[in-house]
Amino acid sequence: MKLGSILIVGGGIGGLTAAIALRRKGYPVEIIEKDADWTVYGVGIIQQFNVLRAMASLDLIDAYLDKAFGFDRTALFAPDGSQIAAFDTPRLAGPDYPSNAGIKRTDLQRVLADRAQELGAMVRLGLTVDQMADDGTCVDVAFSDGSTGRYDIVIGADGVYSQTRAQILPDAPAPRYTGQWVWRYNMTKPSDLDGIHVYYGRCNAGLVPLSEDLMYIFLLSQEEPGMKLAVEGSAAAMRARAAGAAPRIAELTGQITDDAGVVGRPLEVIFLEGDWHKGRVVLLGDAVHGATPHLAQGAGMAIEDAIVLAEELETADTADAAFTAYRARRFKRAEFIATNSVRLGDAQMGKIEPIDAGEVNRQTIALVAEPI
187 burial level (CB within 10 Å; 0-12, 13-18, 19+): middle
Between 299 and 313, CB nearer to ligand FAD: 299
Between 1 and 177, CB nearer to ligand FAD: 177
Contact status: 265 vs ligand FAD (CB under 6 A) = yes
Q: How far is the CB of 178 from ligand FAD (least distance, A)?
A: 11
Contact status: 11 vs ligand FAD (CB under 6 A) = yes
270: left (phi over 0), alpha (psi -120 to 50) or beta: beta
- For ligand FAD, which residue of 3, 7, 9, 75 counts as binding (CB under 6 A)? 9
Between 173 and 247, CB nearer to ligand FAD: 173
Contacts to ligand FAD from residues 266-305, by CB under 6 A: 285-287, 293, 296-300, 302
Q: How many residues bind ligand FAD (CB under 6 A)?
A: 30
96 burial level (CB within 10 Å; 0-12, 13-18, 19+): exposed
169 burial level (CB within 10 Å; 0-12, 13-18, 19+): buried
- For ligand FAD, which residue of 35, 118, 258, 356 counts as binding (CB under 6 A)? 35
Contact status: 7 vs ligand FAD (CB under 6 A) = no
Contacts to ligand FAD from residues 164-183, by CB under 6 A: 182
Site string for ligand FAD, 143-162 (x = CB under 6 A): --------------xxx---
- For ligand FAD, which residue of 6, 7, 8, 15 counts as binding (CB under 6 A)? 15
**What residues line the site for ligand FAD (CB under 6 A)?**
9-15, 32-35, 45-46, 128, 157-159, 163, 182, 265, 285-287, 293, 296-300, 302
